[in-house]
Amino acid sequence: MSAVALQMVCVAGLLGLAALAIVLSRSKIATPVIYGATLAVSVIALAGALRSLLGGAADATTLTLPVGLPWLGAHFRLDALASFFLVVINLGGASASLYGLGYGHHDPAPHRVLPFFPAFLAGMNLVVLADDAFSYLLCWEFMSLASWALVMAHHRERGNAKAGYVYLVMASFGTLALLLAFGLLAGPAGDYGFAAIRAAQHTPYAATLVLILMLLGAGSKAGLVPLHVWLPLAHPAAPSHVSALMSGVMTKVAIYGFIRVMFDLLGQPTWPASVVVLFLGSITAVMGILYAMMEKDLKRLLAYSTIENIGIVFVSLGLAMAFQANGLKAAAALAFTAALFHALNHSFFKSLLFFGAGAVLTATGERDMDKLGGLIHRMPFTSFVVLVGCVAISALPPFNGFVSEWLIFQAVLQSPELPQWALKIMVPAVGAMLALAAALAAACFVKTYGVTFLGRPRGTAAEAAHEVDRFSLTAMFILAVLCLLAGILPGLAIDALAPVTTEILGSRMPAQASQPWLSIVPIAESRSSYNGLLVMVFITASASLAVYFIHRFASHALRRGPAWGCGFSDATPAAQYSGVSFAQPIRRVFGTLVFHARDHVTMPPPGDLRPARLRIELHDLVWSGMYAPIADAVGFLSTRLNRLQFLTIRRYLSLVFATLVTLLLVLAIWS
């Protein structure tokens, strides 16, 4: 069986499971059966994708099914790029299924989740496999609808109906943009096969339009600012393991679409396109993490942080476009590898963190971190693996987030080679934006972890929390180990990505596995090198050395006592720093500019026993400046047009007649 056929069989299996879930839906065994079977199928698909990525995927395999458009059929193809994204999708799918085995038991309405879960996975797999525009769009829409159904799983909860509505509007808008983009790519002859599109010549005019449409279509799915507004509504609304899939995996499918069109189908990228991508990417990175910093809902915060990471991936894709357009092959391969590596890393730690948020939700029923606290004492395992995820996403060595950001910085440092002035000046500024985003991410995850897991419990829910089940813990533990492995053995991951860069860009990073001590060396050792394994060994060794000497020679005495409160002891847990107060300095530095943030303090006069009140005013400028006017305009127009509904029959007839005459007139003048 060819590699693509294996993947298609897996997809068929997932679709079969979706059907089975409808039949079983209300029985007790449905949850373990469906998640267990999805896990098995995902693992098979993952193994197949890994085999074709590692074992010479250069020879792509294709498959044509006699469905779809009558003269076209449905084409599917598995090449190195598709294999890589299949690895991301199925790894995410497998871990989410494993997590679901435990988490699914808490679901009040499993019949609303179970059928759509495998269908959603199947949709994502199919998008990556599709090899013609028609199947691509069909699968894209299938993926969107399946995920929409999952967003609406708990439709009675407050805010979820709005989330589903906004998601549906944005998804339809995105698909429309993609439809137009593929229409332009296929050209007047209208050959929708990817092979034909790849072979055709595209005018610069069409290429520019395709870029804009792809940024709208794939960008809205990935969450590029200013098309990100649906994401923090929809991703948290779904059950936590689905949130992990939507945030950690579906955004990668959007990135896949962008790469497939901009690098593969459109041919050679141009440098002005890279300026646009770099600009949008860096804005997205900084805005996303600032939004996250202001947020106190655990899952919304994670969704905003996804926006930041998407920005980082787009920045490095923009760098790859800039280098490729100027024929700087090695630098382009470096930037492109960094983008893929960061996408992979993000799927690890974002899934892990969403699982962690789900565990907190199971244990306490609470998503507002300002009502939590002290969970490290009650959920020791969860808090440990979530800590790993927080360190990894904050781009700190020796974990994986650091490696991919380090690679991006190395790519930024190649910018003096670029001939265009606009890029030369822009790229260092973009680098500074990335550094700002990374530092803010660390601040944001100190806040997230510190407020949720550390300190004293702020409510009864947090006090009564208990550790979650073993399936959930295993899933989180596996992802945490992957975060560490990708961080200390990055050379292996980079080498595994080499077939993809060779296929897309025609160049690759130097082989890393042959470097002594498994260092990674982007260009040359004298320029830069990093060895995650040794860094970890050194840190472990010096920490153990310190521990040994301290415990050998220093005092062992230890006394427990109340925390020191400067003579004002027994303060309530509410006096701790909360998420809102933790973010205050950053809100004051960045928020006044970006969100028009204001803190209003109402202080009663001395002697008055009323409590003081703090009110925080934040404005989402994107929403109020861009979406609210559009919504208002649509509302205005529809009220006006509503009158057409109540016309008399005579007026309808005259309207129809007038329209007919106008159309005929237009036609006459046109031709």
User: Cα separation of 511 and 540, whole Å?
Assistant: 28
By CB under 8 A, tell whether 564 contacts another protein: yes
Q: Could you tell me how far CA 244 lies from the centroid of its own chain? A: 9
Shortest Å, Cβ 418 to another protein = 10
The interface with another protein within residues 328-387 (CB under 8 A) comprises: 373-374, 376-377, 387
In the bound state with another protein, the residue whose beta carbon lies nearer, of 26 and 424, is: 424
Among 474, 581, 618, 620, indicate the residue that binds another protein (CB under 8 A): 581
- Cα separation, 594 vs 592, in Å, equals 6
Letters for 159-198 (x = contact with another protein by CB under 8 A, - = none) are ----------------------------------------
Q: Would you count residue 592 as binding another protein (CB under 8 A)?
A: no
Taking CB under 8 A as the rule, does residue 439 contact another protein? Answer: yes
Tell whether residue 435 is a contact of another protein (CB under 8 A): yes
Instruction: Report the alpha-carbon distance of residue 189 to residue 418 in Å, rounded.
Output: 37
Binding to another protein by residue 595, rule CB under 8 A? no
Q: Which stretch binds another protein (CB under 8 A): 263-271, 462-470, 564-572, 594-602?
A: 564-572
Calpha distance 544→188 (Å, rounded): 68
Q: Is 543 in the site for another protein (CB under 8 A)?
A: yes
Closest CB 402 distance from another protein, rounded Å: 5
Q: Is 450 in the site for another protein (CB under 8 A)?
A: yes
x/- site string to another protein, residues 415 to 434, per CB under 8 A? -x----x--xx--xx-xxxx
Task: Find, among 306, 291, 310, the residue nearest to 350 by Cα.
Answer: 306
Q: Kindly state whether residue 538 participates in binding another protein, applying the rule CB under 8 A.
A: yes
Shortest approach of another protein to residue 492 CB, angstroms? 18
> Residue 595: what residue type?
F
If one asks whether residue 44 binds another protein (CB under 8 A), the answer comes out as no
Q: Is 65 helix (H, G, I), strand (E, B) or coil?
A: strand
Query: Quick one: which of 28, 466, 567, 589 contacts another protein (CB under 8 A)?
Result: 589
DSSP notation for 219-280: HHHHT-TTS-TTHHHHHHHS-HHHHHHIIIIIHHHHHHHHHIIIIIIS-S--HHHHHHHHHH
Toward another protein, which CB reaches closer, 127 or 286?
Answer: 286
Binding to another protein by residue 547, rule CB under 8 A? yes
Q: Which is nearer to another protein, 371 or 447 (CB)?
A: 447
Count, residues near another protein per rule CB under 8 A: 86
- Asked if 614 touches another protein (CB under 8 A), the answer is no
Give the residue ranges of DSSP H helices in 295-399.
Answer: 298-325, 329-364, 375-378, 380-393
Residue 573 binds another protein (CB under 8 A): yes
For residues 496-535, which are near another protein according to CB under 8 A? Answer: 519, 525-531, 534-535
> Of 22-30, 177-185, 394-402, 593-601, which part binds another protein (CB under 8 A)?
394-402
Cis omega before residue 499 (within 30°)? no
Cα–Cα nearest to 386, from 488, 476, 292: 476
For position 546 contacting another protein by CB under 8 A, the verdict is yes
Task: Compute the distance between CA of residue 429 and CA of residue 228 in angstroms, rounded to an integer.
Answer: 23
Closer residue to another protein in complex, CB, 189/558: 558
For residue 251, give both structure tokens: 């955004």
- By the 10 Å C-beta count (0-12 exposed, 13-18 middle, 19+ buried), 191 is classed as middle
Q: Per CB under 8 A, which region of 169-177, 272-280, 486-494, 546-554 contacts another protein?
A: 546-554
Return d(Cα 612, Cα 602) in angstroms, integer: 6
Contact between 78 and 20 under an 8 Å Cβ cutoff? The reply is no
Q: Which candidate, 153, 122, 157, 126, places its Cα nearest to that of 19?
A: 122
Structure tokens at 314: 């787009």
Alpha helices in 583-648 (DSSP H): 584-586, 592-594, 621-622, 628-641
Closer by beta carbon to another protein, 109 or else 446: 446
Q: Residue 527: which residues within 8 A CB-CB, separation 6 or more?
A: none
Tell me the backbone φ, ψ of residue 464, rounded to 5 degrees: -95, 10
Residue 373 near residue 461 (C-beta atoms within 8 A): no
Which of 560, 610, 615, 650 is in the footprint of another protein by CB under 8 A?
560
Shortest approach of another protein to residue 511 CB, angstroms? 18
Window of 100-108, 169-177, 332-340, 447-455 that interacts with another protein by CB under 8 A? 447-455
